[in-house]
Amino acid sequence: MSTAREQPIFSTRAHVFQIDPATKRNWIPAGKHALTVSYFYDATRNVYRIISIGGAKAIINSTVTPNMTFTKTSQKFGQWADSRANTVYGLGFASEQHLTQFAEKFQEVKEAARLAREKSQDGGELTSPALGLASHQVPPSPLVSANGPGEEKLFRSQSADAPGPTERERLKKMLSEGSVGEVQWEAEFFALQDSNNKLAGALREANAAAAQWRQQLEAQRAEAERLRQRVAELEAQAASEVTPASEKEGPGQGQSLEQLEALVQTKDQEIQTLKSQTGGPREAPEAAEREETQQKVQDLETRNTELEHQLRAMERSLEEARAERERARAEVGRAAQLLDVRLFELSELREGLARLAEAAP
């Protein structure tokens, strides 16, 4: 390619693919990275080409003709068939916008190639009468097949035998374009399969996370139930320890507490009675009786307060007695353990003396 003769008119970057010539189904990537794909215009020959260079070789060298069609197979992938190169090119773009720009430029270049061909055909008619006659009798090569094989033979002259290779190229193009539909469906199928795999992976991850959360919830419930049972056991144990302790209290203390409580209740009742009497309707009470009643009320309240103090003192003494009993119980337990140790040592000493006595002559 001569850089002085051809100039780039549009460039972009894309991942380049070529159809597998063996299967006509699978895509073969041209490289691991995106390459620069450019449209070039040759002013001398009045042709447009799509060129992409990878390293030291041309990955794409496709001359755009009016018969070519660029097809969008997905949001970021497009392809076209080149009958001259007998292959199908595919481009994967970074975004849908880049794909749209390339497709629009392809349409512009395709239209320019069509106009250039028509212009060249008109010029051929003016410069060569023989070729002009042939061109009037035979439609342009891309449209020859529309008249059928029989009519083509009738209007073909001896000098028009050259389009034979063009006919073969068009047949190849038709065959390749026949496989383009399958390739498009296959590309769509692969895209859907990839999406399905991603969704299946996300669903598996969500199910695994849900199962893990379920296990953690069950573990927390089991732990809460265990703690609840432990609290109930501790409460039952505390109640069972308090009941025997209260049963083992001295009869004098229990009786005195009951008497004090009964006396407090009685005094409270008397206070309430006196208050109701003093607060109710009175029929001209005398001042002495009122003062006497108030004095009794004050005395009863004072006595009630003293009884409450005595009750609190008795409760404190009861708590101290319980604590002392617990300490005595602990001392007894330690003494019992010490006694067991001494008995064990004594039994060992006795056995040792017995063995010595048996061993003596």
Dmax over CA atoms of the chain, in Å, equals 160
37 Cβ neighbours under 8 A, 6+ residues apart: 11, 12, 13, 14, 16, 50, 51, 52, 60, 91, 102
pLDDT band at 157 (very low <50, low <70, confident <90, very high): very low
pTM of the model: 0.36
The model's confidence at residue 181, banded by pLDDT at 50, 70 and 90, is low
Looking at residue 138, what is its pLDDT?
29
Chain segment 18-67, per-residue pLDDT in tens: 999 888 888 999 888 899 999 999 888 888 999 999 888 889 999 999 99
153-157, 236-240, 257-261, 301-305: least confidently modelled range: 153-157
What CATH class is the domain 8-120?
mainly beta
Please state the separation of Cα 170 from the chain's center in Å: 52
- What confidence tens digit (pLDDT) does each residue in 140-149 have? 333 333 333 3
Computed over every residue of the chain, the mean pLDDT equals: 76
Return the higher-pLDDT residue of 276 and 343.
343
Q: Which two tokens stand for residue 61?
A: 């060298």
**Residue-level pLDDT at 232:** 84
Binned at pLDDT 50, 70 and 90, residue 185 comes out as low
Q: Is 284 left (phi over 0), alpha (psi -120 to 50) or beta?
A: left
pLDDT tens-place string over residues 269-296:
888 787 776 655 555 556 777 788 888 8
Question: At 268, is the pLDDT very low, low, confident or very high (cuts 50, 70, 90)?
Answer: confident
Q: CB–CB of 59/33 below 8 Å?
A: no
pLDDT tens for 294-329 read 888 888 888 888 888 888 898 898 899 889 889 888
Is the distance from CB of 267 to CB of 303 less than 8 angstroms? yes
Find the range with the poorest average confidence among 148-157, 180-189, 257-266: 148-157
User: What's residue 19's pLDDT?
Assistant: 92
Residue 156 confidence class, pLDDT cut points 50, 70, 90: very low
In angstroms, rounded to a whole number, what is the distance separating the alpha carbons of residues 260 and 267? 10
- Mean pLDDT for 222-236 is 85
Confidence of residue 249 (pLDDT cuts 50, 70, 90): low
The full 3-state SS of the chain, as one line of letters, equals: CCCCCEEEEEEEEEEEEEECCCCCCCEEECCCCCEEEEEEEECCCCEEEEEEEECCEEEEEEECCCCCCCEECCCCEEEEEECCCCEEEEEECCCHHHHHHHHHHHHHHHHHHHHHHHHHHHHHHHHCHHHHHHHHHCCCHHHHHHHCHHHHHHHCCHHHCCCHHHHHHHHHHHHHHHHHHHHHHHHHHHHHHHHHHHHHHHHHHHHHHHHHHHHHHHHHHHHHHHHHHHHHHHHHHHHHHHHHHHHCCCHHHHHHHHHHHHHHHHHHHHHHHHHHHHHCCCCCCCHHHHHHHHHHHHHHHHHHHHHHHHHHHHHHHHHHHHHHHHHHHHHHHHHHHHHHHHHHHHHHHHHHHHHHHHHCC
**pLDDT computed for residue 167 by the predictor:** 58
pLDDT at 221: 84
> Angle 251-279/287-359 helices, nearest 10 degrees?
160
In this model, does residue 10 exceed pLDDT 90?
yes
Distance of CA 189 to the CA centre of its chain: 26
